[in-house]
Amino acid sequence: MSDIIRWQYQQKLITPDQAAKLVKSGDRVWYSEFAMFPEALDEALAKRVDELHNVRIRSVSYTRVPKVVQVDPTREHFILEDWHMSRIGRMLHDQDLCSYIPITYHQGPRIVKKYEDVDVAFVQVSPPDARGFFNLGPSNSVTGAYLSKAKTIVVEINDKVPHCLGGNGESIHINQVDYVVEGPNNPLFQLPEVQPTETDYKIAEFIMEEIEDGCTLQLGIGGLPNVIGKKIADSDLIDLGIHTEMLVDSCVDMYNAGRITGARKNIDTYKMTYTFAMGTDKLYKFLDHNPICASYGVNYTNDPRIIALNDKVIAINSAVEVDLFTQVCSESAGTRHISGTGGQLDFIFGAFASRQGKGFIALSSTYTDKEGNIHSRIKPTLTPGAIVTVPRSIVQYIVTEYGIAQMKGKSTWERAEAMVNLAHPMFRDELIKQAKEMKIWTRTNRIS
């Protein structure tokens, strides 16, 4: 680090409590995303609970319960909002302590630049490099857009943050930063491994038949992507690429097994392209100063027009339920909010536009409730209040443990027939009855 950079750093260095004093009642505050939660700044802001009112705090997918929520259970002082809910956001939403912001993910930065007012940005970063750049670590996404709008930028240093190479938008220079806070240097959030089910293995077998040499992959989170990642690592597939929203541990396994080269990608050749990464230290260590990885804002990674530039895009996403019209709900159970649109619509749209691309919506055919009762995830119509994540006109492939069906160009009765075939046998007769009542079943239908 040069003398001038070191001098600037010291001039801008303040305590977390001093940084919290920058926030005024009525302000809009941005917290950095996913694994980059600004712990010290959040804790300091929470101490001011009795002094502040109507402070709106936004982020994407909280990985820790913010202190500002813990000290303000009535939301009189701090109003928490989330661009994409995971476990923490979902729990807080159930308690009426967090609200969801509906978005199509690739439009996020544009929404911020067009409509958001940002008074203060609290962003966790790596220590500055020799040239004075702080790295945003594994969470690029919409942070760059928020930094471009923020009136005051405070960075919280964490020496555990991997230096993630771009792409673009992965760093911010000390000249653009107003204040620097030194954080507790705690390890980054560790994403617990989801144990796959027998159903995940069955679904994975169907999807594996659709993957060939040279495909570009988008995998999400959960047991099914973990199974597919392991199967690919153990396969003889070659020259696969990664262009994804979320980079996960299984991507490291596939790369180390020699399956990922990116050699046949049309853009970002030889690069694993992503907008955020979340996993274990295995992933974070892999990312650190690794030129095979390229971090971009989500307006690049998730733009369907960009996705489609690569051939043979394989996009794999999950759902809560699908109805006989092939409307996909991946965000709610009725009116209970679970997740968010995220990049599912982006990648289903982009994969179809890709030459030989395929977008998959995968789900188990049933689920078991707390009382032990089995219910179908294939519904005549979506549960009242359920959110349509992917419209029927955009759906391409749907997969359950009973098979895989391509829906493009299919009529309503052909879709209904395919969905009945994908449902658990114990629910098929009732689904046929409902389809007839809805006039999407004809006497020519045959169940295979």
Catalytic residues: 245
Distance in angstroms (rounded) separating the CA atoms of residues 229 and 157: 33
Distance in angstroms (rounded) separating the CA atoms of residues 301 and 343: 9
Which three-class secondary structure state does DSSP give residue 340?
A: coil
The residue among 209, 254, 204 whose CA lies nearest residue 233 is 254
Long-range CB contacts for residues 432-441, cutoff 8 Å, separation at least 24:
434/324, 434/380, 435/324, 435/380, 438/324, 438/380, 438/381, 440/324, 440/325, 440/412, 440/413, 440/415, 440/416, 441/413, 441/416, 441/417
Hey, how many other C-beta atoms are within 10 angstroms of the C-beta on 53?
13
For residues 169-202, b (16+ Cβ closer than 10 Å) or e, as one string? bbbbebeebbbbbbbeeeebbebeeeebeebbbb
The residue among 84, 93, 79 whose CA lies nearest residue 34 is 84
